[in-house]
Amino acid sequence: MTKTIVPYLYVSLGGAAGSALRYGIDAWFGKTFTSSFPLGTLAVNVTSCFLMGFFAALAFARDGWMSNEGRFLLMVGFCGGYSTLAAVGLQTVSLVKVHQYGYALLNVLGTPALCTLVLWAAYCLSSWLFALKANG
């Protein structure tokens, strides 16, 4: 096996575990709490950001407590599969650390707003296309 495929294996393994856990937590919240607010998604996003911050401190410590393989498995794979909001949070913190406050604000506010708008536009487009197909 070549060295170039190894990071993909770590990311895939971590991503599978993170995705499965996200599904399990969201399903548990859905069965346990009767609320129209997406509590499971909130719980996943908050815990993912906590984990990303914890892992980042280990990965970027001067003593290097986490190897590159650990970063691929836990940060990119697990946290990425668990919730991409943690990646946005880490990028925002990184921007703040280098005093790029405008970009940090744009990232933390703009990413969810833009993604929501794009999702809505795609939903409307898809609904329109399916309606055209059904009518003609």
Could you write out the three-class secondary structure of 2-69? CCCCHHHHHHHHHHHHHHHHHHHHHHHHHHHCCCCCCHHHHHHHHHHHHHHHHHHHHHCCCCCCCCHH
Question: Residue 90: what pLDDT?
Answer: 86
33: amino acid identity, one letter: F
Question: Residue 1: what pLDDT?
Answer: 54
Residues 81-125 pLDDT 10s: 998 888 888 889 999 999 999 999 999 999 889 988 988 898 888
Residues 50-71 pLDDT 10s: 999 888 888 887 777 888 899 9
What is the number of other CB atoms lying within 10 angstroms of the CB of residue 74?
Answer: 23
- Is residue 9 over pLDDT 90? yes
Question: Residue 99: what pLDDT?
Answer: 95
pTM, 2 dp: 0.74
> What mean pLDDT comes out for the span 11-30?
95
Tokens 């833009």, located at residue: 114
Name which residue leads in pLDDT, 85 or 22: 22
